[in-house]
């Protein structure tokens, strides 16, 4: 059995780390370099950093700050936010970023993604599928930048893998983000069953049982943790956290 991965997912607003609830109301967490140093000590499997404002503010990645962060990370490091051109990808890979996470670029310039995959391989690009349930319809892919996505969740996942050649998917529930209520296991399981690439579950993790459920029942290959990685408990103060692998291994 392939090793199940647990990945802290850090949100960056351009100056510091923040945490959102349902993609809204960001609360300041602290300095990214300090957090990365602590995660080094905790020997995390991988690390994800998302600049949540880059695409909204139409700005490029801050390569200087990303270089500082990547230089501190002793684990595989994935970055997403504001990546628009082939040169942006190339620069990030040179800085030590192993995977680049794309979202709005999928709708804006899918050919750029194909070109990057042709040059660097499918494993170098992760596509993030944000999804939510509108009030009067079923759960569907969601674009925080306002793009129209014509696919349902499963069709979108297959488009990303079969048409664009994406090597890994990050499937994230907007409705679960920051709630501590657990992952949307139903959607995660459906996506895992429909594609032949690794799936990272994201959105809602609040305890060890949530991790066990999504990794061993929904069968995601990896689980991203946000609030659980930066707070001591729900409603309590900032504390960089990471569960020990022994506590998450399937019994």
Q: How many of the other CB atoms lie within 10 Å of CB of 223?
A: 28
Using the 8-state DSSP alphabet, how is residue 2 labeled? P
Per the structure, the count of domains in the chain is 1
Taking the C-alpha atoms of residue 77 and residue 143, their distance in angstroms, rounded to an integer, is 24
> Cβ(48)–Cβ(101) under 8 Å?
yes
Question: How confident is the model at residue 250, as a pLDDT?
Answer: 63
CA 227 to chain centre: 13
Range of the domain at 87: 5-247
Taking the C-alpha atoms of residue 18 and residue 36, their distance in angstroms, rounded to an integer, is 14
Taking the C-alpha atoms of residue 157 and residue 138, their distance in angstroms, rounded to an integer, is 16
Q: How many of the other CB atoms lie within 10 Å of CB of 11?
A: 25
Q: Is 13 exposed, middle or buried (0-12, 13-18, 19+ CB in 10 A)?
A: middle
Q: What is the pLDDT of residues 27-47, one digit of tens each?
A: 999 999 999 999 999 989 899
Residue 14's CATH number:
3.20.20.70
Q: What is the pLDDT of residues 45-87, one digit of tens each?
A: 899 999 999 888 888 999 999 999 999 999 999 999 999 999 9
Tell me whether residue 130 is one of the annotated catalytic residues: yes
Catalytic position from the list 51, 130, 177, 184: 130
**Confidence bin at 2 (pLDDT 50/70/90):** low
């Amino acid at each position: 059995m392939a090793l199940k991965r647990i990945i802290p997912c850090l949100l960056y607003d351009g100056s510091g780390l923040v945490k959102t609830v349902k993609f809204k109301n960001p609360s300041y967490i602290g300095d990214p370099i300090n957090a990365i140093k602590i995660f080094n000590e905790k020997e995390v499997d991988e690390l994800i950093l998302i600049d949540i404002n880059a695409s909204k503010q139409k700005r490029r990645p801050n390569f200087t700050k990303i270089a500082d962060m990547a230089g501190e990370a002793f684990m595989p490091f994935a970055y997403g936010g504001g990546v628009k051109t082939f040169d942006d990808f190339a620069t990030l890979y040179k800085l030590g970023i192993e995977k680049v996470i794309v979202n709005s670029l999928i709708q804006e310039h899918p050919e750029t993604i194909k070109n990057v995959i042709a040059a660097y391989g499918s494993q170098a690009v992760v596509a993030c599928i944000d999804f939510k349930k509108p009030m009067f319809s079923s759960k569907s892919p969601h674009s925080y930048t306002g793009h129209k996505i014509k696919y349902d969740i499963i069709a979108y996942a297959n488009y990303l893998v079969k048409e664009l050649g994406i090597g890994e998917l990050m499937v994230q529930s907007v409705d679960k983000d920051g709630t501590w209520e657990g992952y949307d296991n139903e959607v995660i399981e459906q996506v895992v069953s429909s594609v032949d690439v690794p799936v990272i579950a994201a959105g809602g993790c609040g305890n060890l049982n949530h991790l066990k459920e999504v990794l061993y029942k929904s069968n995601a290959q990896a689980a991203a943790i946000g609030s659980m990685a930066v707070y001591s408990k729900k409603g309590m103060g900032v504390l960089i956290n990471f569960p020990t692998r022994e506590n998450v291994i399937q019994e």
